[in-house]
Amino acid sequence: MLTTITAPHAPAAIGPYSQAIAANGFLYLSGQIPLVPDTGELLLGDVAAQTEQVVQNIAAVLSAGGSDFQHIIKTTCFLQNMSDFAEFNAVYEKHFISKPARSCVAVAALPKGALVEIEVIAAIISKGVLQ
């Protein structure tokens, strides 16, 4: 059974997709960019500030879906510029302390001009706030 997850404390999807889908004990998060949940606007700032906002958005979706950072299995990270890798990594390692499997690639562009996007696969550990 598939369950669509909607997190009230994360930015709404900006296209025809869900914030996350729960299926067979796993939570599949759509890529999060540094949108401020209250305004839906891109957080301006360097890659470190944008990564912090992305992490906050991921936390909100994980919570709504019944998971947390300790149960992340895999991340896929997208950077607009690979020269931001060290600055991005400094923020990433503070939050993803369980060291999930990860891919990190540079891309030509991200939605709304974001510098970073992260998508996550996590194990579900509870019913979450909306299931």
Sequence-separated (6 or more) residues with CB below 8 Å from residue 118: 31, 32, 51, 54, 55, 58, 75, 76, 77, 78
Structure tokens at 18: 């869900």
- Assess whether 77 carries a catalytic annotation: no
- Classify residue 25 as exposed, middle or buried by CB count within 10 Å of its CB (0-12, 13-18, 19+): exposed
How far apart (Å, rounded) are the C-alpha atoms in residues 49 and 43? 8
Active-site hit among 104, 123, 125, 130: 104
What is the set of active-site residues? 104
